[in-house]
Structure 1
């Protein structure tokens, strides 16, 4: 095998080898040859639906066991690497929680790599075969989704395997798979140039597109991706503008909505997710199995908790605090739970195994907008945006009068509270140049998770997986262990 063909070969095998959970079995209409792409909207849509299906399916990469339930799995387990989410007993996700999973020989370093490069290859089959100037509105929207997803998948890879953008533009990131597939690691600047280009093209192509469901992305989701990228790149004016337009039209959850388990893709704030049902459920290899302490699965009886510092930082009138048990623990639905257990994520479907996956909520955009406004000199605007969302969570919240670093810290604190367990905190630790601090006086992190990692430590980089290095030595140097 030629060195620069390894990623193609692996993902081609995943795409075209039949197995019980293979998306081709779920969407047989997507089994088409490249000549059909670009001329048949139905056939091309089948390929795109296959991408979305694989993003929420279990054990499709062949790595990470029951942690492999697609995009939600990646988001969930990187959040275990921060300060705020605790595993009371080591189980699935434990290799991330204790930082042993990032090394090149561990399957957890393989899992995100093959999750996203597989789907980059698949969306490229659409992008490369559909004319960007097509007059067919459906094909244009399909291609727009594909190119926005390609940008977002590269963004996920860059944040996991590469350093942050600002100050590291010439450092090595990940290979780009766009017009051509690089056998070598591209620089951070090159990767983010490709990401920004793809997302801008996706935003433009998706103008006016009305999606049939929230499993598919529309212009607002592409704008949300781009807002997050701009924040990472330090383009704060653009980040604020894009976040505001992305959230327009979405209604913030009321108390009942916020406390309803985050299991329904149709709730008001959901921008993008996966619509699961009894036929599509992946049972124990699923998000709720590992993060829903109230249900049957790996977390049954209580295994996922909140860091006590973050719990204590919430006001007593904050509706979000009610979804975590305090220092004395408590009882829920007849089960006694230990201190600081989370009740935030609960699959409340009738069979308790069909909860949807929520990948992105409009609430996220308020914090991107507020931080970007604060960093670009509009502190009053930042305070206004922060108040708009925080007042919905805490009726007693008083609009901030802080400025400078204190204001930004307040925004980040509220973001950590709001998005706890949703896949943002670890990426922010990297971006903000903050370390992991779990070994403190009174910590409720268990012994195996009780350590500190300083800012800029190599542990904030996943190593490129062994399987890639073995087949493609050109990709070296690897990230340090």
Structure 2
């Protein structure tokens, strides 16, 4: 399952940067484009990243191929805060041990193709619409497609090159647009970091204008506030602090936060929640197979899953868990060393309730939880359900709040940022919270801690590591560690092995990406590496 392999098939929506635009039967002339014909294309553009087997196809039977949610899981397992078992049942062990930097492996190809496939669909929509159209429906479709394309590049760029500042002229990923960039479609070299972000900002600027006044029909779509949220992320990555603060405020306006009561039980699976700004609606009707789904590998309540059925749970690093105050409601998002969690007080499964659920063993269905197993995420049908379905959040108001706090602090308004952070945490997570950070750097580190707790399991771990220039610290040489021995290592912030490699399928076909330019620095970490390394948060 985890051996190196060259991928030879997908599900028919392939985009390969070497050809810039994948040629299928072309759309009708721009002048003939009509909203009714494009409606299905736009719907497919939004939904494709939530499909099962969306990269490799159903015949591959790859249970790690569940689109964007499992990409997020891979990225978090690269980081310091999420732990899984070292076993043959763990489809994502490649990410935990960093063998996903081997460019012949399936996992890095999946994390590449999910986004380039969606870029292909966005480009199809963009090239089907006259840029000067006055049709209000087409203007919205055009804006949404540009926002989707920007989201995809934002989901790629942080992992193929180090942070934006200081690395603007280094190579990132190839740009694939709705028009050819060169006369030779088989030659499409990696664009620089600056070029990629220029395209992201160009698309988002246009999207924000094009979505003015538009009211979407569902949270699976992008509206103007979501576009502002994406631009807030981009500005955060680029360290455009003042702009990031403004965009985050515009994005989150009108969206409340999860209350303490709402997150005092398993949650984070319902797109109708008031704080969700954008997400994937993944109902049981979307899932023909139980296993390639995020509840099967990240959740802890399924009656037919890898996590529960073979004990391949996703746990929090004890170093981070121990830093969460006992008065913080988020402490209950994981069971403690005694398998207790206040989040389980409302949970019943197979005739037992509360902490007994953590200890419950059902042969071939559920193992007892590990210490520090997550109980953050609920699923459709409740505990014991075999549906393995649940909506996936791509953007919520709490992320925007934390962007705004960091951006305010780094743009000089430390006092305002501190007040905003204290108001959020005291009001919604920990009534005893006091922020002791008194300068911009300290407050940025405090926000990083809050993001590591608040957004755990949602795919932000490594993008934060990369944009902040931080090391990956999984263990201390003088403290306990709950990482399996094979995954127990630390990685320095400037180690070239943090960068993902361009997949072999791309380098084989793209003359613009020779092997010499494929992020070849560094070596795969091994158990025990860098025992004295610290990150300033879990010290």
Query: Do both proteins adopt the same fold according to a TM-score greater than 0.5, normalized to the shorter chain?
Result: yes
Give 3-state SS (helix, strand or coil) of 1:445's partner.
Answer: coil
Give 3-state SS (helix, strand or coil) of 1:463's partner.
Answer: coil
Give 3-state SS (helix, strand or coil) of 1:249's partner.
Answer: coil
Higher mean displacement: 234-243 or 434-443:
434-443
Counterpart pick for 2:423 among 375, 379, 388: 388
1:74 matches 2:61: no
Q: Could you tell me whether the CA contact under 8 Å between 2:42 and 2:141 is conserved in 1?
A: yes
Classify 1:93/1:11 alpha carbon distance in 2 versus 1 (closer, same or farther; 3 Å). Answer: closer
**Equivalence for 1:137:** 136
Q: Could you tell me whether the CA contact under 8 Å between 1:34 and 1:125 is conserved in 2?
A: no
Give 3-state SS (helix, strand or coil) of 2:117's partner.
Answer: helix
Q: Could you tell me whether the CA contact under 8 Å between 2:10 and 2:56 is conserved in 1?
A: no
Q: Could you tell me whether the CA contact under 8 Å between 2:294 and 2:388 is conserved in 1?
A: no
1:154 matches 2:153: yes
Gaps of 5+ in 1: 1-8, 17-30
**Equivalence for 2:214:** 209
**Equivalence for 1:285:** 292
Q: Could you tell me whether the CA contact under 8 Å between 2:163 and 2:468 is conserved in 1?
A: no
Q: CA deviation at 1:175?
A: 0.8
1:271 matches 2:271: no
Matched length: 459
1:369 matches 2:404: yes
Classify 1:114/1:127 alpha carbon distance in 2 versus 1 (closer, same or farther; 3 Å). Answer: same
**Equivalence for 1:310:** 320
Q: Could you tell me whether the CA contact under 8 Å between 2:30 and 2:127 is conserved in 1?
A: no
For 1:195 and 1:456, the matched residues in 2 are separated by: 25
**Equivalence for 2:13:** 14
Classify 1:13/1:325 alpha carbon distance in 2 versus 1 (closer, same or farther; 3 Å). Answer: closer
Q: Could you tell me whether the CA contact under 8 Å between 1:323 and 1:344 is conserved in 2?
A: yes
User: Which runs of 4 or more aligned residues in structure 1 lie more than 6 Å from their structure 2 counterparts after TM superposition?
Assistant: 9-12
Give 3-state SS (helix, strand or coil) of 1:125's partner.
Answer: helix
**Equivalence for 2:307:** 299
For 2:118 and 2:166, the matched residues in 1 are separated by: 29
Q: Could you tell me whether the CA contact under 8 Å between 1:264 and 1:357 is conserved in 2?
A: yes
1:337 matches 2:369: yes
Matches within 5 A, 1:21-32: none
Higher mean displacement: 276-285 or 56-65:
56-65
TM-score if structure 2 supplies the norm length? 0.81
Classify 1:298/1:137 alpha carbon distance in 2 versus 1 (closer, same or farther; 3 Å). Answer: same
1:53 matches 2:68: no
Give 3-state SS (helix, strand or coil) of 1:253's partner.
Answer: coil
**Equivalence for 1:20:** none
Counterpart pick for 1:33 among 10, 27, 33: 27
1:83 matches 2:80: yes
Give 3-state SS (helix, strand or coil) of 1:67's partner.
Answer: coil
Q: CA deviation at 1:348?
A: 4.0
Classify 1:302/1:111 alpha carbon distance in 2 versus 1 (closer, same or farther; 3 Å). Answer: closer
Q: Could you tell me whether the CA contact under 8 Å between 1:302 and 1:337 is conserved in 2?
A: no
1:174 matches 2:179: no
Classify 1:41/1:78 alpha carbon distance in 2 versus 1 (closer, same or farther; 3 Å). Answer: same
Q: Quick check: which one's helix share is greater?
A: 1
1:406 matches 2:442: yes
Give 3-state SS (helix, strand or coil) of 1:150's partner.
Answer: helix
Q: CA deviation at 1:12?
A: 9.8
**Equivalence for 1:21:** none
- 1:214-238 per-residue CA deviation (whole Å, 9 max, x = no partner) reads 1111111111111011011110000
RMSD: 2.2
